[in-house]
Amino acid sequence: MTYLPNSNRYQNMEYRRCGNSGLMLPALSLGLWHNFGAIDSIENARNILHTAFDNGITHFDLANNYGPPAGSAESTFGELFKQDFKPFRDELLISTKAGWPMWDGPYGDFGSKKHLIASLDQSLKRMDLDYVDIFYHHRPDPNTPMEETMAALDLIVRQGKALYVGVSSYSPAETQKAFTILKELGTPCVIHQPKYSMLERSVEDGLLDVLELNGIGGIAFSPLAQGLLTNKYLNGIPENSRATAHRGNGAIEEDAITPENISKVKKLNEMALERGQTLAQMALAWVMKDKRISSVIIGASKPEQVIDSVGCLKNTSFTTDELKAINQILI
């Protein structure tokens, strides 16, 4: 059956400018880090993607190593893109990344020109795309000169394989250096993807200031702390949770589910209920309250979680007292 997206899909989504660029991002983006691998149900993946696009989520965020196994999330997306989304290519932002271990040997990892060019070529084949909208260097490389890594990103844009480029998990100083090099090359760094949530606030120690100074958009990953900032773990670790499944693929580890964290989460949940939100909705709204964050990346194991996340847009403002109370909980 031909997929026909919701004709009202743009009415309830907020779109934010990505830094100083012309790119507009949906306030919520869909990450394919989990639940889109070869081990997962492709029908469930299809339903999640349909639900996201039907609700105005136009940005699908991938990486070469997402799965498991590595590469399979891109392959799954490529299959579903070909079947359902090809007519809507120009309405979609599709991003991918390279920089974590992907294949054997000295060229399958980090930030050499050899790795980045080869990895993106592989990604485009898996997704059956001519280009991606955003291509990231996924993490800093301590051994490759940053000039080489940034020159590769510049070349990728000039080759037409990506429209925009960015970095992920760079420190404030590394981000500034990457921005400066790319600016000199004539290809702007338009976006940075850091980990940011109520329980992971290191971006507030200088990175957000660098983004603002240089007009770089911020897009937060793991805004729900791999599910800890949901009602899932309020009463311990449930069966079939991310804490017990997909171990070693970035899923939440059991040692993150400490009594201290659970106590914080329970107090935050009470605040969310007072605001008329789920804990997940409040946690997402809290991250996106900062205008330097252009979008937050949500994950989903079922379509209903996408709908719940989109519901955060009904209340994204916080009073001064609420912010103080949240900070008291998080100390």
Counting the structural domains of the chain, the total is 1
Q: Is the dihedral of CA 158, 161, 165, 170 positive or negative?
A: negative
User: Which pLDDT tens digit goes with each residue over 192-226?
Assistant: 999 999 999 999 999 999 999 999 999 999 999 99
In a domain, 211, yes or no: yes
- For residue 163, the one-letter residue type is L
User: Which pLDDT tens digit goes with each residue over 125-137?
Assistant: 999 999 999 999 9
User: Which pLDDT tens digit goes with each residue over 221-239?
Assistant: 999 999 999 998 888 676 6
In a domain, 328, yes or no: no
Give the integer Cα–Cα distance in Å for 264 and 217: 29
Residue 106: CATH number of its domain: 3.20.20.100
Give the integer Cα–Cα distance in Å for 49 and 45: 6
Predicted pLDDT at 255: 72
Query: Could you tell me the residue range of the domain that residue 121 belongs to?
Result: 15-257+281-316
Say if residues 172 and 148 touch (Cβ distance below 8 Å).
no
In a domain, 67, yes or no: yes
The yes-or-no verdict on residue 247 having pLDDT over 50 is no
The yes-or-no verdict on residue 140 having pLDDT over 50 is yes
Phi, psi of 206 (to 5 degrees): 115, -30
In a domain, 129, yes or no: yes
In a domain, 262, yes or no: no
User: Which pLDDT tens digit goes with each residue over 54-86?
Assistant: 999 999 999 999 999 999 999 999 999 999 999
In a domain, 276, yes or no: no
In a domain, 159, yes or no: yes
Cβ neighbours of residue 255 closer than 8 Å, sequence gap 6 or more: none
Taking residues 301-322, report their average pLDDT. Answer: 98
In a domain, 194, yes or no: yes
Provide the b/e sequence for 252-274 (b: ≥16 CB within 10 Å).
Answer: beeeebeeebeebbeebbebbee
Give the integer Cα–Cα distance in Å for 59 and 156: 20
